[in-house]
């Protein structure tokens, strides 16, 4: 439970950081706005022509009598739109990070410098083109994993009772995990941490990851919210990445804890070396 609280605190601290750095927040909104326009257009098209697509994909139901044909195809249309919405939530972060890679790399570096005891930030040393290629490649790999989970959860959704109660909850935790992976990748990739290593780090601290990513995934379901939370989510994920790697986090004047002599925030249940918000 403590890691859940800490993960959520990182999310809040990230939002507070961008609130104090208005210029970074403004730049960070641009990629999200571009992605939002693209996704809204795709979802509107799915809403308008989803029934036609379902009708084309189910020719075997053409001769079914009323009301069974309408009920069957109506159900599939709703499921298709729900699946499209789930995929939009799962992939929004990846697409936004890809579009806004230079913006978010700069933001993440500034967060690192701000909270690092020595005021420095790790640098990848790679060219922008190379960074973009690695980000795109890893995003596709994560997307494949997310699609496997989406299909599995979609199938489990047909189980009576559990499909309408337990499965959606699992879906939110899965979404939170993948959101956190995509967001922490900005800071971890800059440190040379490969995808397999990143997944290992995240799986070792699942409750921390869920505390950060699951509330964010729920918030992303609200129209337009994802755009405004993305800059702070990247900032918070940078703090979380430092925690995963055991790096110190300094935040002067943090209201949630007392600082030690080195300027690190100390909490009653933590040692100075592992102090986290």
Residues 210 and 120: beta-carbon distance below 8 Å: no
For residues 35 and 30, give the distance between their C-alpha atoms in angstroms, rounded to a whole number. Answer: 9
According to the model, what pLDDT value does residue 251 have?
63
- Whole-number Cα distances in Å, 254 to 238, 249, 265: 17, 11, 7
Residues 3 and 207: beta-carbon distance below 8 Å: yes
Beta strands 258-259 and 265-266 are antiparallel
Domain-wise residue ranges, the chain:
2-246
For residues 241 and 234, give the distance between their C-alpha atoms in angstroms, rounded to a whole number. Answer: 10
| pLDDT tens, residue order, the chain (277 aa) | 788 899 999 999 999 999 998 887 887 888 888 988 998 899 899 889 988 888 888 888 888 888 888 888 888 888 888 888 877 877 787 788 888 888 888 899 999 999 988 888 888 777 778 877 888 888 888 888 888 888 888 788 778 887 778 888 888 899 899 989 989 999 999 998 999 999 999 999 999 999 999 999 888 877 678 888 989 999 999 999 999 998 888 765 344 443 333 334 443 334 333 333 4
Tokens (6 digits) for 148: 């496997």
For residues 173 and 46, give the distance between their C-alpha atoms in angstroms, rounded to a whole number. Answer: 26
What contacts 187, CB < 8 A, 6 or more positions away? 108, 112, 237, 238, 241, 242
According to the model, what pLDDT value does residue 232 have?
92
For residues 70 and 107, give the distance between their C-alpha atoms in angstroms, rounded to a whole number. Answer: 50
According to the model, what pLDDT value does residue 266 have?
40
């Amino acid at each position: 439970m403590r890691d859940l609280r800490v993960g959520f605190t990182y999310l809040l601290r990230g939002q507070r950081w961008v609130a104090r750095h208005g210029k970074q927040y403004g730049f960070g909104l641009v990629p999200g706005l571009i992605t939002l326009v693209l996704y809204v257009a795709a979802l509107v098209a799915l809403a308008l022509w989803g029934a036609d697509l379902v009708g084309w994909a189910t020719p075997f139901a053409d001769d079914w009598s009323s009301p069974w044909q309408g009920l069957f195809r109506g159900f599939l249309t709703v499921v298709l739109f729900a699946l499209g919405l789930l995929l939009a939530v799962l992939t929004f972060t990846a697409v936004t990070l890809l579009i806004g890679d230079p913006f978010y790399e700069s933001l993440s570096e500034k967060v690192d410098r701000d909270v690092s005891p020595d005021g420095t930030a790790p640098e990848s040393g790679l060219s922008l083109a190379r960074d973009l290629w690695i980000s795109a490649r890893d995003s596709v790999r994560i997307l494949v994993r997310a699609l496997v989970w989406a299909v599995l959860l979609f199938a489990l959704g047909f189980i009576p009772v559990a499909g309408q109660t337990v499965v959606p909850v699992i879906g939110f935790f899965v979404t939170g995990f993948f959101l956190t992976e995509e967001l922490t990748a900005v800071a971890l990739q800059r440190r040379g941490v490969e995808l397999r290593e990143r997944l290992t780090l995240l799986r070792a601290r699942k409750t921390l990851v869920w505390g950060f990513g699951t509330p964010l995934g729920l918030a992303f379901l609200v129209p337009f919210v994802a755009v405004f939370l993305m800059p702070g989510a990247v900032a918070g994920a940078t703090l979380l990445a430092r925690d995963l790697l055991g790096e110190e986090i300094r935040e002067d004047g943090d209201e949630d804890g007392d600082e030690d002599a080195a300027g690190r925030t100390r909490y009653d249940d933590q040692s100075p070396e592992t102090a986290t918000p």
